[in-house]
Amino acid sequence: MAAQRAYTTHPLVLRRVTVRRVHEVTPRMRRVVLGGADLAAFTRDGIDRPAFAAPGFDDHVKLILASDGDVRAALPAQLPHGIEWTPAEHRVTRDYTPRRVDPDAGELHLDFVVHGDGPAEAWSASAREGDELWFVGPKSSLRLPERLDWIHLVGDETALPAIGRFLDERPLDAPAHVLVTVSHDEARQELALRDGDTVTWVVAEPGDAAALEAAVRALPVPPGEGYVWAAAESRALLPVRRYLQRERKLPKDRVNITGYWHREEAAAPQAPDAAEAPGAQAAAPIPSPLPWLVARAALRLGVVDAVADAPGLSADALAARVGVAGPGLGVLLPLLASYDVVVDAGDGTGLRLGAAGEELLDDHEREEYTGHEAELLLALTQLAPALKEGTSPWRLASGTTLHEAVTGDAERYGELVEECEQLVFLLDGLTADPLWEGVGSCLLTGPGSASVAAALDDAGRRPRLLIAEDAGPAEVLRGHVPAPDRVAWSAGPADVAVAAKALAHRTDEEAVALLARLAEWTSTAVLVEASRPDNLSPHAAEAALHAYTATGSPLRDSAAVAALAERSGWRVERTVALGWGTEATVLRRA
């Protein structure tokens, strides 16, 4: 059996609410109570929208603000099913956890930390009755394990809304042990504790990683099956994550750690000779790839993990531990120290991880240096000749296509499957489409197949599922698809086929070959692919380059997909916008 899914998804709806009242919970926390017709089920532009639902204690909604004050211009486009983040230069978004949802009163309570300097805190400071606020979400709710003997709730002041809501609503009938770091005693709140619960308040500066780690280490570890939920400043959580996962060895499904905010580092002072003439704009320097390459080497050699597991090693002991000759490691260590990855205080205490090294212990962070995206980045060394030859940089760098590479590498294909897990939040538009009426069987292919299977399950659709993948990728998908015993793990005739992110790692020729194969098994096919950048992403401008690196083609828009379909005996019937730059293209055999 597959493991329990970690999240329940919700339809994404853009909603408008207005301020009903504002009051101070403590001198450090301001509560804004919002209400409006959009919290109930409503109709806009002829489309029915469901009532607002945020059942999880740490659900978050995305507030939409505008740095120039023109919020209407910053709003995303509401799709029939989902949200499209259109380009908006002055859009500012911030995620907030509902402190309370009162459907009977039609109210949503949001708590804001006072004395912050962010755009949301500024909005809350000036909020008055009748002011409007737009938001989207939540997109999902965390599913806690069904049977637990205890839970730790850890956070700073920004986590108090989630912690307070958990204690009020008790989604889990188990003792709760609460730890909160606050910048001042006046930030303490009354919490709804029960017999068996504990609460620890620690006064520390916001983002103080050492204080948070020490307090977490001091928490007692009760017997039985437990769960740790933690939310605070992202970097302050890094040593906490290391302690829980590497020392306590808690399984990943027993830990949920989320960076609620990110402390901005002060900009380095500008050298006098770097000053521009008055009024001139200084050009941002092109960053060197050297720090990235050094960090990648440290991860691949095991240097970061070795120092994390045994802080205090000498340079010689580290060299022996990772199997690198001393002189070779001597080339690396000064650079690692300059980048704050591995540092030596010079007091005889040996090597330890710096702040950057702590970040590299996070699985998501290290993927940037060692995972699939890192391999694509390295392939860009062949960008210039690839552009001249009209091929993909990946093919020139590796001598094979990306599709061939991932098909023969289960670990790499697994990374693609995990990247596609976000698809499940976008597939309401596909599962609600009329094409499913009367469908008894569905053939799935591509690394997004597990997300499609989960979305069909959530929508109450139960066609017989078949998987059309080579042996290695199929085995990877088996570990991600809900109820794999209900799936036929071989291709065959089906009423409809869904290729989910199957083209994103294929060249045009490979895409045409796949579509031709699908035509042997079905007369209706759906392609789920990104057709434009996600304009909420800070890396939107890089999307076309990433696609070209992988396949030799930029992001394939509707016209490009139609051309591939025509070459393989299909015609485009229609396109369903799913949001975040993703579309479902419905094909019929020509």
pLDDT score of 549: 93
Is residue 42 packed enough to be buried (19+ CB in 10 Å), middle (13-18) or exposed (0-12)?
middle
Mean pLDDT, the chain, rounded, equals 90
Flag whether pLDDT at 479 surpasses 80: yes
DSSP string of 301-351, one letter each residue: HTHHHHHHHSTT--HHHHHHHHT--HHHHHHHHHHHHHTTSEEE-SSSS-E
Cα distance between residue 578 and residue 557, in whole Å: 14
**How many Å apart are CA 342 and CA 308, to the nearest integer?**
10
* Angstrom distances, CA of residue 62 to CA of 166, 536, 589: 20, 11, 41
pLDDT for residue 264: 67
Pick the closest to residue 475 from 413, 521, 403, 402 (CA basis): 413
Neighbours of 219 (CB within 10 A): 15
pLDDT, residue 283, reads 56
Q: Which residues does 194 contact at the CB level (< 8 Å), separation at least 6?
A: 170, 175, 176
Q: Note the pLDDT of residue 253.
A: 87
Per residue in 87-118, pLDDT (tens digit) is 898 999 999 999 999 999 999 999 999 876 78
Q: How far apart are CA 569 and CA 588, in angstroms?
A: 9
Domains and CATH numbers, the chain: 7-140 (2.40.30.10), 148-259 (3.40.50.80), 289-368 (1.10.10.10), 395-587 (3.40.50.150)
* Res 359: pLDDT: 87
Whole-angstrom distance, CA of residue 572 vs CA of residue 525: 10
Both tokens assigned to 346 = 């010079």
Helices (H), 399-534: 402-407, 410-419, 428-431, 449-458, 471-478, 508-519
pLDDT, residue 366, reads 85
| Rounded CA separation 490/443 (Å) | 9
Band of the pLDDT at 284, cuts 50, 70, 90?
low
Question: For residue 430, how many other CB atoms are within 10 A of its CB?
Answer: 26
Distance, in Å, from the CA atom of 540 to the CA atom of 581, rounded to the nearest integer, reads 10
Q: Which residue has the higher pLDDT, 226 or 117?
A: 226
> 43: part of which helix (H) or strand (E)?
strand 42-44
How would residue 276 be classed by pLDDT, with cut points 50, 70 and 90? very low
Q: Quick one: pLDDT at residue 474? A: 94
List strands edge to edge, sheet with 91-96: 91-96, 61-66, 132-136, 14-26, 29-35, 107-113, 98-102
Q: What is the pLDDT of residues 22-72, one digit of tens each?
A: 999 999 999 999 999 999 999 988 888 999 999 999 999 999 999 999 999
Range 431-442 average pLDDT: 94
For residue 203, the surrounding DSSP H or E stretch is strand 198-203
**Per-residue model confidence as pLDDT tens digits over 175-198:** 999 999 999 999 999 999 999 999
% of residues, the chain, pLDDT over 70? 95
Q: What percent of the chain has pLDDT over 90?
A: 71
pLDDT of 147 > 90? The answer is no
Question: Cβ(166)–Cβ(176) under 8 Å?
Answer: yes
Q: Does the pLDDT at position 537 exceed 70? A: yes
